């Protein structure tokens, strides 16, 4: 069953005018993005900085304003929801933020931080709220006596555990994870990722997972959408995308994933992406990756490719997806 359905989602930011009386120009941070997310699964959105992945996630959560499109949660339109209906909706969609150091109010105790969504979005009694807080502290691996501590008295990993507990307080159906481990040490990252997977099973959660780290995505996701300059350029299940990328940009990202296998490392060929991304205010007519793509032809520079099915539900926005295999590295394999 599809829990989240996103169709032609766009987010545009006004930036400047052409002259004093010229038309206003817009930065198209997210440009007609579409995907479906089944209940109980994890969809990862990946891409380099500036690709629009976090902005798309914020728009789904109604934390930034969308310029167009549709976002439906269990069939209910999110973008047009206001008032009390939006308040109720917020209890079913929660956010885990990237930085555990800045996302927690330093003046509030840990138990207050976890209880805050319950105070704002529910009518539960104080006893019910405390019971939920106690349960969540145990679920994320924190002790009951730590509830009275302030954020500065916790390590980075413990702070992120508090952020996770806070996100789960209202029993959401969809949890949006925005780079939830990128600010943590590598050893702590593994602990938090394993915790997120365990909580997904325990509370029947659906994750929209935003990351630039394909190693993290490989561990967490069922389906992966790769974004570049505001658009999805490839979308497939994890196994197909890692073993058979159909877009040169994806192949280049995968070539940078380190391998613990010595033979794979020796055979691995790094695919470098030359140049810089195009101006997001003045995008080129053709493929947005054409000026950096080693396979680009004249058609790529004049005609923008559609996101089409290359087989078995593997979607790619490339005129020549079959040629991507010439760039593939034999060292990139899924676990």
Q: Which domains does the chain have, with CATH numbers?
A: 2-15+39-327 (3.40.50.300)
Who wins on pLDDT, 59 or 24?
Answer: 59
- The residue whose two tokens read 């995308």 is 241
Neighbours of 23 (CB within 10 A): 8
The pTM (predicted TM-score) of the whole model is 0.91
| pLDDT at position 331 over 50 | no
Confidence (pLDDT) at 219: 87
Q: Model confidence at 90, in pLDDT bands (50, 70, 90)?
A: confident
Pairing of strands 42-46, 223-228: parallel
Instruction: Note whether 69 and 9 are within 8 A (CB).
Output: yes
Looking at per-residue pLDDT, the higher value among 18 and 146 belongs to: 146
Paired sense of beta strands 68-73 and 76-77, if any: antiparallel
CA distances from 245 to 123, 249, 300 (A): 48, 9, 18
Q: What is the pLDDT of residue 335?
A: 38
User: What confidence score (pLDDT) does residue 99 get?
Assistant: 86
Please determine, for residue 330, whether its predicted confidence score (pLDDT) is greater than 50: no
pLDDT band at 25 (very low <50, low <70, confident <90, very high): confident
Give the model's pLDDT for residue 267: 56
Across the chain, what does the average pLDDT equal? 90
pLDDT at 334 exceeding the cut of 70: no
274, pLDDT greater than 90: no
pLDDT of residue 332: 40
pLDDT tens-digit series, residues 229-273: 999 999 999 999 999 999 999 999 988 776 655 555 555 667 878
Q: Give the tokens for residue 20.
A: 């004093």
Report how far apart the first and last C-alpha atoms of the chain are (Å, whole number): 27
Gyration radius from the chain CA atoms: 21
Cα 165 to chain centroid distance, Å, stands at 19
- Within 184-308, residue ranges assigned H as helices are 186-203, 214-220, 238-243, 248-255, 262-267, 298-302
More confident residue, 124 or 23: 124
Q: Decide: 9 and 60 in contact? Cβ < 8 Å.
A: yes
Can you say how many angstroms the Cα of residue 102 is from the centroid of all Cα atoms in its chain? 19
The whole-number pLDDT of residue 313 equals 92
Give the C-alpha distances (Å, rounded to integers) separating 9 from 15, 64, 79, 87, 202.
20, 12, 10, 22, 31
If one compares 22 and 306, the residue with the highest pLDDT of the two is 306
CA–CA gap between residue 161 and residue 129 (Å, rounded) = 18
**Span 267-291, mean pLDDT?**
84
Report residue 276's pLDDT band, with 50, 70 and 90 as the boundaries: confident
What number is the average pLDDT over the span 179-208? 93
Indicate the range of 117-131, 144-158, 238-252, 253-267 predicted with least confidence: 253-267
Three-state DSSP class for residue 222: coil
Residue 110: name the closest of 140, 88, 73, 80 by CA. Answer: 140
Q: Please, are residues 257 and 332 in contact by the beta-carbon 8 Å criterion? A: yes
**Of 73, 52, 55, 63, residue with least CA distance to 227:** 52
For 229, half-sphere exposure in the C-beta direction (CA atoms, 13 angstrom radius) is 19
């Amino acid at each position: 069953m599809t829990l989240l359905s996103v169709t032609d989602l766009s987010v545009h930011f006004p930036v400047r005018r052409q002259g004093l009386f010229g038309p206003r120009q817009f930065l198209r941070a997210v440009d007609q993005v579409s995907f479906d997310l089944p209940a109980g699964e994890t969809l990862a959105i990946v891409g380099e900085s500036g690709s629009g992945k976090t902005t798309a996630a914020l728009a789904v959560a109604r934390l930034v304003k969308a310029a167009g499109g549709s976002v439906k949660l269990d069939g209910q339109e999110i973008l047009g929801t206001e008032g009390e209906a939006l308040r109720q909706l917020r209890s079913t969609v929660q956010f885990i933020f990237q930085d555990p150091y800045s996302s927690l109010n330093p003046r509030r105790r840990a138990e207050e931080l976890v209880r805050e969504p319950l105070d704002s979005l529910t009518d539960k009694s104080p006893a019910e709220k405390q019971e939920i807080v106690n349960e969540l502290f145990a679920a994320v691996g924190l002790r009951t006596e730590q509830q009275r501590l302030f954020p500065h008295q916790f390590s980075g990993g413990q702070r992120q555990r508090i952020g996770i507990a806070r996100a789960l307080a209202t029993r959401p159906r969809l949890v949006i994870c925005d780079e939830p481990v990128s600010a943590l040490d590598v050893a702590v990252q593994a602990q938090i990722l394993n915790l997120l997977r365990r909580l997904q099973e325990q509370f029947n959660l659906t994750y929209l997972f935003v990351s630039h780290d394909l190693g993290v995505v490989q561990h967490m996701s069922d389906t992966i959408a790769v974004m570049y300059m505001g658009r999805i350029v490839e979308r497939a299940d994890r196994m197909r995308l890692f073993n058979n990328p159909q877009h040169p940009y994806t192949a280049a990202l995968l070539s940078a994933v380190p391998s613990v296998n010595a033979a794979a490392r020796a055979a691995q060929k790094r695919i470098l992406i030359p140049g810089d991304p195009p101006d997001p205010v003045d995008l080129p007519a053709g493929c947005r990756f054409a000026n950096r793509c080693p396979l680009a032809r004249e058609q790529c520079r004049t005609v923008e490719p559609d996101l089409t099915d290359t087989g078995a539900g593997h979607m790619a926005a490339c005129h020549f997806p079959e040629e991507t295999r010439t760039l593939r590295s034999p060292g990139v394999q899924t676990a």
